[in-house]
Structure 1
Amino acid sequence: MNMAVNILAIETSCDESSVAVIQDGRVIRSNIISSQIEIHKKYGGVVPEIASRKHLEALPFVVQEALSEAEADFKDIDGIGVAYGPGLVGALLVGLSYAKAAAYAIEKPLIGVHHLEGHIHAGFLEYPDLAFPLVALVVSGGHTSLVYLPKRGAYELLGQTRDDAAGEAFDKVARHLGLGYPGGPQIQQAALQGNREKLVFPRAWLEKDSLDFSFSGLKSSVLNYLNQCKMKDEAYDIPDIAAGLQEAIGDVLATKAVVAAKKKKVPTILLAGGVAANLRLREMLQEKAGQENINVLWPSPVLCTDNAAMIGCAAYYKYLRGEFSDLTLNAVPNLSLFTS
């Protein structure tokens, strides 16, 4: 009888201190997330130095809570998975330092995980029988990428943002509209009351056949519209702006994801990352993919945002392949998932 493999996973790449215990890459025995959103709200975004300090304060307690909820002890752990990039370097270092110390102390392997690889693996926690090949659309505050997965552990970059990530555009516009941080959920909420056809903001399609994205022009267009209204002393409707922004971002993301899936002849698009929780994006993606008989999947909301369960799932498969890190592993804020 095979013994279960338990991974203790740590995720501190931005402003969530998260620790999970994942069994056999599928069973979430615990997934504790200590969010710093309330702290960073007053600054309108994440302050890296504050994030690092809060991770330092929270992490030991979050680890204990994760072990307790999993009814486990360090002696039950077979490997320590940790996100080591990309992300805020100070925040990453807190999680990585704890992971290295824990791996050394319990004499178990350290498994460094790419943050985006974690987001993609959230889909495998939600759908354990998810089959390869597939295309993943990873959309978050810091990343917007289209990735082809021919098999487990293999990643081919099809397209990525050349400037602002989609989530970044949401955050920046939300700040100018006075909606607060984080911007994505606030924009979605406001857009529910808006007319999505009233304000048609520009879409950047880039060169023919390009699967890259660009959202800085869209962001500038929305901010220019706001400034013109203020200069003319004209009223503007926040829900209409939110709906128009959401529509422009969703249109480009969904269209290019479907083109990528058709190009690679895959039956499934996996939506991942924090912006995967956006209901309108899901709707548009399902609609466009449905016309091509392509299936669209996404994880539960708790697995869309940064969490350690997704890191634990990715770490488990690395554990099976013997892909271990040594104790010299360092945080890499601009870590690439793709080998050129």
Structure 2
Amino acid sequence: MIVLGIDTSCDDTSVALYDTDSETVLSEMVSSRMELHARYGGVVPEIAARQHLELLLPMIERVHEDAGVAPDPETIDLIAVTRGPGLIGGLLVGFSCAKALSLGWNVPFVGVNHIEGHLVSVSLSHQHVPYPHIAMIVSGGHSELYKAVSPVEYSLLGETRDDAAGELLDKTGRLLDVPFPAGRVIDEWTIKSNPDDSHPSFPRPLIDRENIEFSFSGLKTACLYFLRSDESRKYARETIGAEVLRSVVDCLLAKSLLACRRENLQTLVISGGVASSEYFRKTAEGFALENNLEVLFPEQRHCTDNASMIALAGWHRYRVNGADSYELDCEASLSVGEC
């Protein structure tokens, strides 16, 4: 079966073709126009939606050309499209396009939860991912831990009380005059830094509590007040940013370990945009060895938003529930398990 995947949930426009028989991505494209949003310090929904409208159909034609597959019902067996969560304008562009192609080609379509796409993205690069396992999604809008029973069944174990980890890094970037998005720059600073050198001391919120919850707003406030203090003049902004990321990763891994221990599971899957952090990945490898865990990440290109994960998640949903009705609508707020 060949699945056409479409993702327009935020600012990136992404299209992919996935072959379920060979379990391979035949072709994928992601168009990011971050320079259009950087001047505003964040994603502008109206600009993002207009870009999706301009780019989507040409990209669908391009992935078919790259894969050597004809864009017609003789070759496409299923269309999978992000239903939510995300920015409603962008979601409507992708969802409307998927429905139109489904009707025109007489091919079934299925709406996919964007977060479930991230949760299965590890299978794009790792065959035989064991179930059940603990799954952590870490991005600009989400910091959550799930017990993944199967590719279509998840139970929420814990989440952030306030800011998501990626949101904190972007806000820290603004405080340190780093252009949006700041995560990649802060990650580079952290990789180059020496944790044994003098650095500010930031809190690790909730790290010693026996609850599976995150809280990052206090860390943001601590950074803000530190930058207003005379002591901050002793440190370069690179040193400050690196310590913020170290604090975030310490909290994420501590709560992940707690979830693994409580559920008696040895496999931890980490996905989402923050999972592309080189520092996070290297630290998690050492953490896994120390705690006798198996930690799996998607390839870095599949940590950020992409349509390959939507195609894969859509196929899993289709196998279990069949095609969706054309009466289905996209939703800006959609919980995992709601499809």
> What secondary structure, in the 3-state scheme, does the structure 1 residue paired with 2:3 have?
strand
Cα deviation, residue 286, structure 1:
2.4
Q: Is the 8 A contact 1:135 1:260 kept in 2?
A: yes
SS in 1 for 2:270: strand
Equivalent of 1:17 in 8, 13, 20 = 13
| Corresponding residue SS for 1:22 | strand
| Corresponding residue number in structure 2 for 1:251 | 250
The reply to whether residue 204 of structure 1 matches residue 205 of structure 2 is yes
Aligned residues: 333
Aligned-CA RMSD value: 1.7
Alignment of 1:219 onto 2:215: no
Secondary structure of residue in 2 paired with 1:155: strand
Match 2:2 to one of 6, 17, 23? 6
Task: Indicate if the aligned counterparts of 1:258 and 1:289 stay in contact, CA closer than 8 A.
Answer: no
SS at 2:150 equivalent: coil
Kindly indicate whether the alpha-carbon contact (under 8 Å) linking 1:190 and 1:238 is maintained by their aligned counterparts in 2: no
Question: Which among 24, 49, 70 is matched to residue 27 of structure 1?
Answer: 24
1:59 aligns with 2:56: yes
* TM score, norm. by length of structure 1: 0.94
What is the rounded CA distance, in whole Å, between the counterparts of 2:234 and 2:284 in structure 1? 33
Q: Which residue of 2 aligns with 1:332?
A: 331
Determine the structure 1 residue equivalent to 2:124. 125
Change (3 A) 1:318 1:194: same
Instruction: Return the alpha-carbon distance in structure 2 between the equivalents of residues 191 and 294 of structure 1.
Output: 24
- Give the deviation of 1:289 after TM superposition: 2.6
CA distance in 1, matches of 2:124, 2:222: 38
Shift of 1:133: 1.0
1:100 and 1:157 map into 2 onto residues whose CA distance is 30
Aligned to 1:108: 107
Q: CA deviation at 1:312?
A: 0.5
CA distance in 1, matches of 2:130, 2:190: 35
Matched, 1:297 2:296: yes
Choose 201-210 or 81-90, whichever is displaced more: 201-210
**2:156 aligns to what?**
157
Cα deviation for residue 94 of structure 1 reads 0.8
Compute the displacement of 1:118 (Å). 0.4
Distance in 2 (alpha carbons) for counterparts of 1:10 and 1:238:
39
Contact 1:85 1:331 in 2 (8 A): yes
Give the letter for the 2:63 counterpart: A
Asked whether the 8 Å contact 1:87–1:333 carries over to 2, the reply is: yes
CA contact (8 A) 2:12 2:33 kept: yes
Secondary structure of 2:48's aligned partner: helix
Shift of 1:130: 1.0
Q: 1:264 to 1:57 in 2, by over 3 A?
A: same
- Counterpart for residue 44 of structure 1: 41
Task: Give SS of 1:321's match.
Answer: helix
SS at match of 1:150: strand
One-letter code aligned to 1:218: L
Task: Provide the TM-score with structure 2 as the length reference.
Answer: 0.94
Q: Tell me, yes or no, if the aligned pair for 2:190 and 2:279 is still in contact at 8 Å.
A: no
TM-superposed CA distance for 1:233, in Å, is 9.0
CA contact (8 A) 2:132 2:148 kept: yes
Percent identity, aligned pairs only, is 37
The whole-number CA distance in structure 2 between the counterparts of 1:297 and 1:233 is 37
Q: Which runs of 5+ in 2 are unaligned?
A: none
Contact 1:135 1:148 survives alignment (8 Å): yes
> Does the Cα contact within 8 Å between 2:80 and 2:109 map onto a contact in 1?
yes
CA distance in 1 between partners of 2:322 and 2:259 (Å): 29
Structure-2 separation of matches of 1:276 and 1:187: 13
Deviation at 1:206, TM superposition (A): 7.1
Partner of 2:170: 171
Instruction: Give the Cα–Cα distance (whole angstroms) in 1 for the partners of residues 336 and 207 of structure 2.
Output: 23
Paired with 2:106 and 2:61, the residues of 1 have a C-alpha distance of: 19
Alpha-carbon distance between aligned partners in 1 of 2:238 and 2:88, rounded to the nearest angstrom: 36
String of CA shifts for 1:232-287, please: whole Å, max 9, x gaps: 89454111111110110000001111111121112211110111011222233222
